[in-house]
Structure 1
Amino acid sequence: MRVAVLSLIEAGGSDPAALRGYLPIGGRSVLRHQIGLALSFNAKRIVIMAEAISGELVALQHVAEAGGAQFHVVPTVRALVPLIAPEDDVIVLGDGLLAMPDALHDLVDAGPVVLTLPIEPALPLGFERIDINHASAGVMRFAGRIAAGLADLPPEWNPQSALLRLAIQGRVAQRNVPAAMLDDGRWGIVRNEQDAQIAERRWLRLHTRLSGDGAFTLGERLAALMVNRFGPALLHAGTRPALLGLAAGALGLLGGGVGWLGQLAVGFVLLGLAWLVEQVASLLGQVERASLLASGLARRSVALFHLLIDAGFVTLAGWGSGLPAHPSMPPGAPFFVPLTLVMCMRLIPLALPGRRWSRWLSDRFMIGAALAAIHLFLPWDATLGIGVILLLGIGVFSLQFGHKRSDPEGPPTASPNPRLTTRQ
């Protein structure tokens, strides 16, 4: 059985009643983050070293049991001994430790280990000294037989310090955590409220940082900026991604209603803002899943919401058409060009997934702003028709000639399909 040992003992600042494990990061306690880590290691028993049971511990018990783990709260090191069998695989997380899940798994999955840090940067940050050159990084993994030595120790010993000494005496291998993880926030100890605020900002940036390939659009960058700026307040207020999704839906309905009243430019802007708010909701949901704070299931309604935004664009664009009503005109003719335009914007990113510029066609915030500007300043039907021709032309040109540039070593006129027969 895999057993996770966590602690809720150290004070979180000058107030002895405040504990490190209860300090909030992203609206959830550090201890809640650690339980998510323990469950990600498939721990079947989670033991919390704490002096008393609180209401939050009861709530965390429900989280652990929903994840398939037994939950225990024990006050002393001796009480821990009966909960760890010699054949168990034990993982220990330090009091107040906040680590990125992927970094922790990379360092611990290989087998028994005591993770260490260089003494110079680690000691001022609250990590415990091991020897003259190394400090404990706050994470250990060892066989359960090592924990049997706790029975010989006085009950007042700090459980994690005791387990660290026993693991070192048991010659568990030591492995260094890259010091760069301390600098960028992937690894650290949250000791007080000030540390929690700094760690929270870094935590959000790590989960929302954009890659340097230039593929991210203006709307996606704005969504990431909004999460970094307002995410802590939203999460601490208990605002879950689903609630923001409802707000996005309300904005979309408002945009449709305003467009029906004749304010098409405002309607396009509101539909674009609805997409942006939904991007913020999706990003917050992604942060929670990556931090092991929520289920790993993505919200399946996102694709449907994007489809409804496009339907709103087509509807408003059809209402703005200046095509004359004539018996020779087929029903729905004003909606034909807008529908073709939206379908082109959906098709090109699928047909040309490797092109950075094609990603911008998926940014409905920019599309909404562009449609609003076109409606205000340019001939509506003619501009939309030109847009359809341009998108189709660019797509055909890229598909026709793009494969030749992507394979410069091959013959320029070679067929993309190999010959299936040979001639004698």
Structure 2
Amino acid sequence: MVTADDELFVVAPGVLPDDAEVEETLTGKGVLAFPADTAVPLGYERIDLELAWGGVMLVPGRIVERLAELPGDVDVPSTLMRLSLQSGSPIRHLDRDLLSEGHWHIDADRAELDAREKRWIDAQRRKIAFRAPGLAVAERAGARLARDILGQSAESVPILAAMASVITALGLAAFGFPAAGIAMTGLAALFGHMAGVVDRVAQLSRPKTNHGLLHRLLGHAIDPVFILLLTISAPKEFGFLRAFVPLVLFGLLRLGENYSSKKWRATYADRILLGVLLAPAAFLGFSTEMAAAIALLVLATRFFPTLRGD
């Protein structure tokens, strides 16, 4: 039941506004309006010679009582808009570019809805610079994948593919193919990040998702699996020292990920890039040397101020 003290937020049928613009412009009671010369040909209701109603308004609840005085077949949103203006609600102007750039729709068709969905999903993508090329590619690929599988049973495919890749990597190591296992672990990191993007977008429309545990397990598993595979790949004559270089490498990467300047943290966290670097070296038989070189490079970036980028 609407009372006189309430505020009524009204969106006309068929209107699909830009949420951010509504929040920014409609800070109090008012009627949102576009220039009439742009909006009226698109189907928006004319207010006067200069303005057309954008289909959204925030109005005082007391004007609802006046609807009882009118015939039952009136257009309620349009009537509320007129009554609101008569009662003194201000007009709040919208930029015509919202219409021309496709951010505000009325009676949108399938193509317009698809384009809007694409922009919305892309807006949820984290802006990861190509200082972390693996994560940057995975972020973009995950956003693209989200457009195709959100709300479908296939939504679980990326995280399941990541877990399957980890299991496959361990199986390959058990059968004496650690180099292939390293490649599969890098692939698991790729699928895992893509799954994280899909899950992040899904949570905006459906806060409760079922993949939280799998994401946490995967996040905790990638580094230990890399360490295990690098240890197995190391020359046997190193004995227990076979694990030394992998442990140092991932310890340094973790330190960089947590304590470096913000612009470089994604680089230290990029396990996809790490897999791309380590897998070919492992196939050629010098994974330990490559891991040591990467560890030395990471150490140099943290030791010398000119390389830190702080």
TM-score over 0.5 (shorter chain) = yes
Q: For 1:198-347, what aligned pairs fall within 5 Å after superposition?
A: 198-208=115-125, 210=127, 214=129, 217-235=132-150, 237-240=152-155, 244-290=158-204, 293-295=205-207, 299=212, 302-324=215-237, 329=239, 332-347=240-255
Q: Does the 8 Å CA contact 1:86/1:144 hold for their aligned counterparts?
A: yes
SS of 2:169's partner is helix
Q: Does the 8 Å CA contact 1:268/1:369 hold for their aligned counterparts?
A: no
CA deviations over 1:60-94 (Å, ceiling 9, x no partner): xxxxxxxxxxxxxxxxxxxxxxx311111211123
SS of 2:13's partner is coil
One-letter amino acid of the counterpart of residue 183, structure 2: V
**Compared CA separation, residues 228 and 304, structure 1 to 2 (3 A):** closer
**Compared CA separation, residues 191 and 185, structure 1 to 2 (3 A):** closer
Output the CA distance in 2 between the equivalents of 1:96 and 1:227. 31
Paired residue for 1:368, among 261, 264, 275? 275
- Indicate the residue corresponding to 2:25 in structure 1: 107
Q: For 1:127-138, what aligned pairs fall within 5 Å after superposition?
A: 127-138=44-55
One-letter amino acid of the counterpart of residue 319, structure 1: I
Q: Report the Cα offset of residue 358 of structure 1.
A: 4.1
Q: Does the 8 Å CA contact 1:186/1:203 hold for their aligned counterparts?
A: no
- Indicate the residue corresponding to 1:67 in structure 2: none
Q: Does the 8 Å CA contact 2:172/2:180 hold for their aligned counterparts?
A: yes
**Compared CA separation, residues 263 and 196, structure 1 to 2 (3 A):** same
SS of 2:304's partner is helix
Identity of matched residues, %: 26
Q: For 1:24-423, what aligned pairs fall within 5 Å after superposition?
A: 83-108=1-26, 110-208=27-125, 210=127, 214=129, 217-235=132-150, 237-240=152-155, 244-290=158-204, 293-295=205-207, 299=212, 302-324=215-237, 329=239, 332-354=240-262, 356-377=263-284, 379-398=286-305
Q: Report the Cα offset of residue 319 of structure 1.
A: 0.9
Q: Normalized against structure 1, the TM-score is what?
A: 0.65
* Alignment root-mean-square deviation, CA: 2.9
Output the CA distance in 1 between the equivalents of 2:256 and 2:243. 20
SS of 1:324's partner is helix
Output the CA distance in 2 between the equivalents of 1:121 and 1:322. 72
**Compared CA separation, residues 178 and 284, structure 1 to 2 (3 A):** farther
SS of 1:200's partner is helix
Q: Does the 8 Å CA contact 2:142/2:193 hold for their aligned counterparts?
A: no
Higher share in helix: 2
Q: Normalized against structure 2, the TM-score is what?
A: 0.86
Q: Report the Cα offset of residue 286 of structure 1.
A: 2.5
Output the CA distance in 1 between the equivalents of 2:110 and 2:234. 57
Output the CA distance in 1 between the equivalents of 2:151 and 2:181. 32
